[in-house]
Amino acid sequence: MANYFVGDIQGCFDELQLLLAKVEFNPSKDILWAVGDLVARGSGSLPTLRYFKQLDGSARVVLGNHDLHLLAVAAKIKRANPKDQLDALLASSDLNSLIGWLRIQPLFQELPERNIIMSHAGIPPQWDLARLRSEAKKVSDALISPDYIQALISKMYGSDVNSWDPKADPLQQKIYCINALTRMRFLHSDGKLEFDSKLSPSAYKDSTLTPWFKFDGIINQTHTLVFGHWAAIMGEVGMQDMHALDTGCCWGEYLTLWHLESNQKITQNKLKKS
Ligand SMILES: Nc1ncnc2c1ncn2[C@@H]1O[C@H](COP(=O)(O)OP(=O)(O)OP(=O)(O)OP(=O)(O)OC[C@H]2O[C@@H](n3cnc4c(N)ncnc43)[C@H](O)[C@@H]2O)[C@@H](O)[C@H]1O
């Protein structure tokens, strides 16, 4: 049995299939972990969602910002981004069933026997494991409730909720959890989330911004963290127990798969399409 963790697929389904063929992924005995952003920029968002849905118990998925945005687009409260290729997915006869599957996916996953935590963007440095579990569960509970669009998805947009406040109202706390686990890259020195800076840290040398994973996080000290979301760093975090798996396949770079048992990274270049 093997555990494979794959970076942001963003609809790059053909590249995913080539990567899985390289490692002879066998869903009857192996597990495929995905760091979120299954959909959006590539042409294969529909087959990607269908593939993970049918993997069932052989897959562990977390939601990314693009997956959450898809929930809003499918509910017709937001438009797809012009750069996204979601038309086939949005017109598919199984859209409702795929959305029903997507919204029951969590914001983080654990592999307790190896002390591994996976989320799309990262883990707030000030949270311990109990806090992470309880806050992520509150979001998941809201996502599976029948009024999830009105009660949560329609309210989550914007960048005002940028710091953790244990006394904030429940909706603000859920929005912070979504912002931290699916959108975080840099933090200000006081720990506030910064949303506009998306390039690699070398582009902001003269600022006080620090990548979230450079903070002395509580969970970082005891766990290996696996995340995606930040294509511009191309997997470079400079720390042994951090695996940044977004290597910009949708931007023309490559898709990365981490094989846990051998600690090897296997890659597949973005295919050139005419
Ligand atoms: N609560 C919420 N509030 C607000 N919005 C929410 C939300 N929840 C969901 N959303 C949605 O989130 C989506 C993201 O919006 P955007 O934030 O506009 O999308 P993006 O810049 O493309 O970021 P992305 O998440 O794709 O990150 P990536 O690192 O690949 O790319 C980032 C940048 O890095 C650059 N880059 C990529 N690869 C690179 C490389 N190898 N080298 C250098 N730069 C690279 C790219 O040019 C790109 O500009 C929107 O659909 C929005 O609606």
| CA 66 / ligand 1 centre spacing (Å) | 8
Position 125 in a domain: yes
pLDDT greater than 60 at residue 274: no
Band of residue 221 on the pLDDT scale cut at 50, 70, 90: very high
Average pLDDT, stretch 177-184?
98
Position 232 in a domain: yes
56 dihedral zone (left: phi>0; alpha: psi -120 to 50; beta):
left
The CATH number for 117's domain is: 3.60.21.10
Position 105 in a domain: yes
122 dihedral zone (left: phi>0; alpha: psi -120 to 50; beta):
left
Position 178 in a domain: yes
Where do the H-state alpha helices sit in the chain?
A: 13-22, 45-55, 65-74, 87-90, 95-102, 129-144, 148-151, 170-183
Q: Is the pTM of this model over 0.95?
A: yes
Measure CA 184 to chain center: 11
Position 274 in a domain: no
Closest protein CA for atom 20 of ligand 1: 198
| CA 85 / ligand 1 centre spacing (Å) | 15
Output the average pLDDT for the chain. 97
Position 229 in a domain: yes
Band of residue 152 on the pLDDT scale cut at 50, 70, 90: very high
Predicted local confidence at residue 253, as pLDDT: 98
Q: State the amino acid at position 197 in one-letter form.
A: S
Band of residue 140 on the pLDDT scale cut at 50, 70, 90: very high
Predicted local confidence at residue 206, as pLDDT: 86
Band of residue 176 on the pLDDT scale cut at 50, 70, 90: very high
* Ligand 1 atom with minimal separation from the 157 CA: 3
pLDDT greater than 70 at residue 214: yes
- CA–CA dist 57, 30 (Å, integer): 10
pLDDT greater than 90 at residue 204: yes
| CA 122 / ligand 1 centre spacing (Å) | 15
| CA 116 / ligand 1 centre spacing (Å) | 25
pLDDT greater than 90 at residue 160: yes
* Domains held by the chain: number: 1
| CA 24 / ligand 1 centre spacing (Å) | 31
- Chain segment 31-81, per-residue pLDDT in tens: 999 999 999 999 999 999 999 999 999 999 999 999 999 999 999 999 999
Predicted local confidence at residue 104, as pLDDT: 98
Predicted local confidence at residue 143, as pLDDT: 98
Query: Using an 8 Å Cβ cutoff, are 225 and 123 in contact?
Result: yes
For residue 237, the enclosing domain spans 3-269
Ligand 1 neighbours (beta carbon < 6 A) = 65-66, 68-69, 81, 156-158, 178-179, 198-199, 229-232, 234, 248, 251, 253
pLDDT greater than 90 at residue 273: no
Where do the H-state alpha helices sit in 94-237?
A: 95-102, 129-144, 148-151, 170-183
Single out the residue of 228, 242, 264 nearest to residue 8, CA to CA: 228
Query: Using an 8 Å Cβ cutoff, are 62 and 119 in contact?
Result: yes
pLDDT greater than 90 at residue 138: yes
